[in-house]
A = this chain, B = another copy of it.
Amino acid sequence: MDCIFCKIVKGEIPSRKLFENDRVLAFYDIQPAAPAHALVIPKKHIASMNEAEEEDRELLGELLLTAKKVAGELGIAESGYRLINNVGPDSGQIVFHIHIHVLGGEKLGGLNVKS
């Protein structure tokens, strides 16, 4: 496996952790797109939502509940935040290990604004 997020899970690549348990990990994005920007990933390697299966249902739910928890940690629960999961070419997905972006800390841009 040459997956950068699997290496972060194993501690082979450092990360600034926000939350961790046996199943999920949350850490700061190293290229923040907003004042607050974290990633929530499953420890299990799943390349993208396209590869998620029915058996992953609880794990996927835990990703969203962890994102909520992380928003609280980041102090953006009340001001608001956006959860984003990119899948495949048109989305700009770069790392092929499911990750949910948690973005906030400012008024965010529109749903699909081109730069």
B115 and A93 contacting across the interface, CB-CB below 8 Å:
no
* CB within 8 Å for A88 and B78 given contacts A33-B112, A109-B113: yes
* CB within 8 Å for A80 and B91 given contacts A64-B64, A112-B33: yes
* CB within 8 Å for A80 and B88 given contacts A103-B112, A112-B109: yes
Kindly provide the distance from the CB of A21 to the nearest chain B CB, expressed in whole angstroms.
13
Give chain A's interface secondary structure class: mixed
Can you list, as one digit per residue, whether each of A60-80 has a CB less than 8 Å from chain B (1) or not (0)?
Answer: 111111011001000011111
Please report the total number of A residues contacting B with Cβ < 8 Å.
51
Measured between alpha carbons, how far is A87 from B49 in the docked complex, in Å? Answer: 21
Residue of B nearest to A84 (CB): B84
Q: Which B residues are in CB contact (< 8 Å) with A57?
A: 58, 61-62, 65
Most buried by B among A56, A61, A65: A61
Measured between alpha carbons, how far is A113 from B108 in the docked complex, in Å? Answer: 8
Q: Which residues of A are in contact with B by a Cβ distance under 8 Å?
A: 33-34, 49-50, 52, 54, 56-65, 67-68, 71, 76-93, 101, 103-115
